[in-house]
Structure 1
Amino acid sequence: MSSAALSPERLYADAAVAEPLKALIAKVGQRSGEFPVCLANHLPMVLEAMARLGAGPERLEAYAGIYTASHSVPFPPAPVAPLDAESWRFALGRREREADLRRFFEGLVAELGGAEAVRQTMPVLAPGVAASATHGLMRLAYAVLRADDREIAAALGYWAATYLCYEDVPASRIADLDDPLAHLLSMRDEPSFYGVEAPTHLLWKWIEAMGHMQEFRDRLGRMRVGPDFLDRIRPAALALYAGTMSFEALHAVTGCHWLRLVSPVIDAPQTLARHFWEVVMALYTKIGMPPVPAPELLDEWRSLPLPDDRAIAAAAVASDDEHDHSLVFSAFEEFRYTGDRLYKVVAARRVGLIA
Structure 2
Amino acid sequence: MTVALSALARQASAAMPFRPSRLPPSQVPPDGLSRPDARVRVTLHALLDRCAALGPDLPNGYTNHLPMALHALAGLGADADRLETFAQRYLARQGLAWADGVDAPEASSPARVLPGWQRLRGQPEAYGPLREAMAQGLALHGTGPWVRGVLPALWPGLGAAALHGPIRVAHALQSGHAGELASALAFWASRWRPLPEVAAADPLPPADWAAALQAAAGQLRLEAPSISRRLAEAGRSPLYRDVLARAPQALPLGETLARLVPLAVQGYAMTGDFTVLHLVTGLRAVRVLLPWLPPQADAGVLRRVVVAGWLAAPLHRATPQPLPAPDSLPAWSALRAAACAQDDDHVIKLVHACQDHAAQGLAAGRACRQAAARALARPAG
Q: TM-score normalised to the size of structure 2?
A: 0.77
Alpha-carbon distance between aligned partners in 2 of 1:56 and 1:335, rounded to the nearest angstrom: 23
Task: Kindly provide the CA deviation profile for residues 60-119 of structure 1, in whole angstroms up to 9, marking residues without a partner as x.
Answer: 11211221232235999x99x986444322211111110100001111111222232222
CA distance in 1, matches of 2:372, 2:296: 26
Q: 1:68 to 1:269 in 2, by over 3 A?
A: farther
Q: How does 1:164-313 map to 2 (within 5 A)?
A: 164-167=193-196, 169=197, 173=200, 176-179=203-206, 181-187=210-216, 193-198=219-224, 201-220=225-244, 222-224=247-249, 225-226=251-252, 227-268=254-295, 271=298, 274-289=300-315, 301=324, 303-313=326-336
Q: Which amino acid aligns with 2:181?
A: I
Deviations 1:1-50 (CA, angstroms, capped at 9, x unpaired): 99xxxxxx9722x5432211111112113322221343111111111111
What amino acid is the match of 1:343?
C
Aligned to 1:98: 127
Residues 113 and 132, structure 2, Cα contact 8 Å, conserved in 1: no
Aligned-pair distance for 1:348? 2.1
Assess, with a 3 A threshold, how the Cα gap between structure 1 residues 210 and 140 changes in structure 2: closer, same or farther. Answer: same
Cα distance in 2 for residues equivalent to 1:188 and 1:52: 32
Report the CA distance shift for 1:184/1:119 in structure 2 as closer, same or farther (over 3 A).
Answer: same
Alignment of structure 1 residues 121-136 onto 2, 5 Å: 121-136=150-165
Give me the whole-angstrom Cα distance separating, in 1, the residues matched to 2:318 and 2:202.
24
Letter in 1 for 2:236: H
Query: Which moved further from structure 2: 179-188 or 44-53?
Result: 179-188
CA distance, structure 2, for counterparts of residue 36 and residue 261 of structure 1: 29
Q: Quickly say closer, same or farther: Cα 1:327–1:197, change in 2 above 3 A.
A: closer
Structure 2 counterpart of 1:118, which letter?
A: V
Distance 1:348 1:58, change over 3 A: same
User: For the Cα contact (< 8 Å) 1:95–1:162, is it kept in 2?
Assistant: yes
Distance 1:87 1:123, change over 3 A: same
Quick check: 48-57 or 207-216, which moved more?
207-216
Task: Find the residue that maps to 2:360 and give its secondary structure.
Answer: helix
RMSD of aligned C-alpha atoms?
3.3
Aligned residue number for residue 350 of structure 2: 327
1:108-123 equivalences in 2 (<5 Å)? 108-123=137-152
Contact 2:58 2:94 in 1 (8 A): yes
SS where residue 34 of structure 1 aligns?
coil
Whether the 8 Å contact between 1:101 and 1:161 is mirrored in structure 2 is yes
Q: Pick from 52, 64, 68: which aligns with 2:91?
A: 68
CA contact (8 A) 1:102 1:156 kept: yes
Which residue of 2 is the match for residue 35 of structure 1? 58
Using a 3 Å threshold, how does the CA distance of structure 1 residues 291 and 302 change in structure 2: closer, same or farther?
farther
Q: Distance in 1 between matches of 2:91 and 2:202?
A: 44
Q: CA separation in 2, counterparts of 1:280 and 1:72?
A: 33
Instruction: Give the match for residue 8 of structure 2.
Output: none
**1:302–1:341 contact (8 Å) kept in structure 2:** no
Q: Which residue of 1 aligns with 2:76?
A: 53
Contact 1:114 / 1:153 at 8 angstroms: preserved in 2?
no
* Letter of the 1:263 counterpart: L
